[in-house]
């Protein structure tokens, strides 16, 4: 792997200050107002251009936090170079969260819940219902869908075909679970479709000194327009995905704050979407690798009797 100095020399920007890593990029300061993100070609130039147009389409007048703004996209020496407006603040990763006093940690996560629900207030003319933002289709296969239900069912079918053998070994009554998931999704009636971030978790937020959320980052891999409860359920699930915050049981703490905002029908969809996500994403990071942490986490969810109760 290239060092930061080697990478900056390759793209002709040797003197930039390193700020940190994103999921797929390295981030450097251009000046007080702009940052440079360096991606490999695997992200796809067309995908970044699409992301730029998506960000430009967002109407955020109804929310208090910022969203990213891409200024320029270039291809240089096998890399994709993206200039973005700089968003000031702290990105609260798990190490940072574990150092917070309990009062401040709880304050941040109450803000986290508010922000998760506020994402629904952002509007876009760029995406239609069940139109994935990600052209690569690492999670939702990129194709034209006629409905939210169809998109979920199609991707359940694709993943079952890819992973039936390992699912048979690892998931109790997998054929029943698979059929029940498809049946439940097919019967969903959603009255309101809104923007879905799809990957909202602490490190995709930025906070000020008081732990108010000032920005949300990294739309893309599951971003679409659909049932907002999908986003709510995943935001809860991702709040401390692998239970790495040791000073507080985050998901247990957050559940009442989230549940009090949901109707009875929405609560039923909450657990259903956890199962759908776990099914679709089980082999995303290392295809059918039983030693992979994310895979095992998904299998654990698919065997969790509490979540499975929504299928009966």
CATH homologous superfamily for the domain 94-311: Aminoglycoside phosphotransferase (APH), C-terminal lobe (3.90.1200.10)
Q: Residue 292 above 80 pLDDT?
A: no
**How sure is the predictor about 291, in pLDDT bands with cuts at 50, 70 and 90?**
low
pLDDT score of 138:
85
The SS3 call for residue 264 is helix
Find where tokens 């999921």 sit.
23
Centre a 10 Å sphere on the Cβ of residue 173 and count the other Cβ atoms it contains.
Answer: 12
Q: Residue 289 above 70 pLDDT?
A: no
Pairwise CA distance, residues 238 & 186, whole Å: 25
Structure tokens at 229: 């409860």
- Cβ contacts of 271 within 8 Å, gap of 6 or more: 233, 306, 307, 309, 310
pLDDT score of 290:
59
Q: Residue 299 above 80 pLDDT?
A: yes
pLDDT score of 252:
96
Mean pLDDT of 276-296: 79
Q: Residue 9 above 90 pLDDT?
A: no
Task: Tell me, letter by letter, the H, E, C secondary structure of 49-105.
Answer: HHHHHHHHHCECCCCCCECCCEEEEEEECCEEEEEEECCCCECCCHHHHCCCCHHHH
pLDDT score of 47:
95
pLDDT score of 274:
98
pLDDT in tens, 33-66: 999 999 988 889 999 999 999 999 999 999 999 9
Q: Residue 244 above 80 pLDDT?
A: yes
Q: Where in the chain is the domain with CATH 3.90.1200.10?
A: 94-311
Q: Residue 94 above 90 pLDDT?
A: no
Domain 4-85: top CATH class: alpha beta
Mean pLDDT of 149-162: 96
Q: Where in the chain is the domain with CATH 3.30.200.20?
A: 4-85
- pTM to 2 decimals? 0.93
Pairwise CA distance, residues 287 & 217, whole Å: 27
CA angle 240, 245, 248 (to 5 degrees): 100
Range with lowest mean pLDDT among 80-84, 130-134, 146-150, 241-245: 241-245
Pairwise CA distance, residues 146 & 287, whole Å: 28
Q: Residue 213 above 60 pLDDT?
A: yes
**How sure is the predictor about 12, in pLDDT bands with cuts at 50, 70 and 90?**
confident
Torsion of CA 125, 126, 130, 132, to 10 degrees: -160
């Amino acid at each position: 792997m290239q060092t930061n100095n080697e990478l900056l020399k390759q793209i002709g920007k040797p003197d930039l200050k390193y700020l940190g890593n994103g999921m797929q990029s390295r981030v450097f300061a251009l000046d007080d107002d702009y940052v440079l993100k360096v991606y490999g070609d695997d992200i796809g130039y067309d995908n970044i251009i699409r992301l730029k147009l998506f960000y430009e389409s967002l109407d955020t007048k109804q929310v208090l936090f910022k969203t990213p703004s891409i200024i320029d996209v270039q291809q240089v020496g096998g890399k994709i170079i993206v200039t973005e407006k700089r968003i000031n603040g702290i990105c609260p990763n798990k190490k940072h969260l574990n150092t917070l006093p309990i009062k401040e940690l709880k304050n941040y996560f109450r803000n986290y819940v508010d922000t998760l629900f506020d994402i629904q207030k952002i509007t876009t003319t760029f995406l239609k219902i069940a139109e994935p933002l990600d052209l690569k289709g690492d999670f939702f296969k990129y194709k034209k869908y006629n409905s939210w239900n169809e998109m979920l069912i199609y991707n359940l079918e694709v993943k079952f075909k890819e992973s039936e053998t390992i699912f048979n070994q690892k998931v109790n009554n997998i054929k029943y679970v698979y059929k029940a998931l498809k049946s439940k999704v097919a019967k969903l009636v959603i009255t309101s479709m809104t923007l879905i971030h799809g990957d909202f978790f602490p490190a995709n937020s930025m906070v000020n000194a008081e732990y108010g959320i000032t920005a949300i980052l990294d739309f893309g891999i599951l971003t679409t327009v659909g049932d907002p409860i999908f986003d709510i359920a995943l935001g809860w699930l991702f709040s401390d995905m692998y239970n790495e915050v040791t000073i507080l049981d985050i998901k247990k703490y957050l559940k009442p704050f989230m549940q009090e905002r949901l109707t009875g029908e929405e609560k039923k969809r909450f657990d259903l979407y956890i199962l759908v996500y776990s099914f679709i994403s089980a082999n995303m990071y290392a295809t059918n690798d039983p030693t992979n942490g994310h895979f095992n986490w998904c299998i654990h969810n698919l065997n969790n009797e509490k979540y499975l109760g929504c299928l009966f």
